[in-house]
């Protein structure tokens, strides 16, 4: 088995009304999140952000568009014990690079790694997501729009 790198991206997607897209994980019905994913070998965090948005939502954006904003924020957190087997034996901490992007509320979402999605108001999204770093990113980087 090839181990995952303990470096990832978190990409918060929001629409023109300030609603946040949250997705329910296939493997845990209580785990809602924004787009996340491992940075592949040789890949820059921003490249991973574009790739992961495309893979998890079907929304393909060209990196040269500059649509995805680097929030200039990095989180470090303990890898969930039940997921540690996916990482090298000495990996206990994950480094997460935070990004945000506004997409249209009528964009077609095609889920590949999640069982459901919802557009919800910012406070609701922050309350529903499982990860504290995801919650903080929603509160800090989703602008108040209406």
Mean pLDDT over the full length of the chain:
95
Question: Domain of 60?
Answer: 7-141
Contact criterion met (CB below 8 Å) for 34 and 119? no
Give 110-129 pLDDT, tens digit per residue.
999 999 999 999 999 999 99
CB half-sphere exposure, 11, CA atoms < 13 A? 27
- Report d(CA 52, CA 43) in Å as an integer: 12
Q: How confident is the model at residue 58 (pLDDT cuts 50, 70, 90)?
A: very high
* Residue 44 included in any domain: yes
Q: Higher-confidence residue: 6 or 63? A: 6
* Residue 146 included in any domain: no
How many domains are there within the chain?
1
pLDDT at 27: 83
> Which DSSP state fits 80?
P
Q: How confident is the model at residue 134 (pLDDT cuts 50, 70, 90)?
A: very high
Q: In sequence order, what are the beta bridge partners of 13?
A: 101
pLDDT at 146: 61
* Residue 2 included in any domain: no
pTM of the model: 0.95
Residue 13: give its domain's CATH number: 3.90.79.10
What six digits make up the tokens of 140?
């800090």
């Amino acid at each position: 088995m090839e181990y995952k790198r303990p470096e990832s991206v978190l990409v918060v997607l929001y629409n023109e009304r300030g609603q946040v897209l949250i997705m329910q994980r296939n493997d845990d019905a209580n785990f809602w999140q924004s787009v996340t994913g491992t940075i592949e070998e040789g890949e820059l965090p921003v490249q991973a952000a574009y790739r992961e948005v495309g893979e998890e939502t079907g929304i393909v954006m060209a990196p040269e568009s500059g649509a995805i904003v680097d929030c200039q924020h990095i989180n470090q957190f303990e890898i969930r014990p039940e997921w540690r087997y996916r990482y090298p034996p000495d990996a206990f901490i994950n480094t997460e690079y935070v990004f945000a992007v506004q997409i249209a509320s009528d964009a077609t979402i095609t889920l590949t790694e999640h069982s459901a999605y919802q557009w919800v108001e910012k406070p609701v999204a922050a309350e529903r997501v499982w990860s504290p770093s995801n919650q903080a990113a929603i509160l800090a980087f989703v602008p108040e729009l209406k």
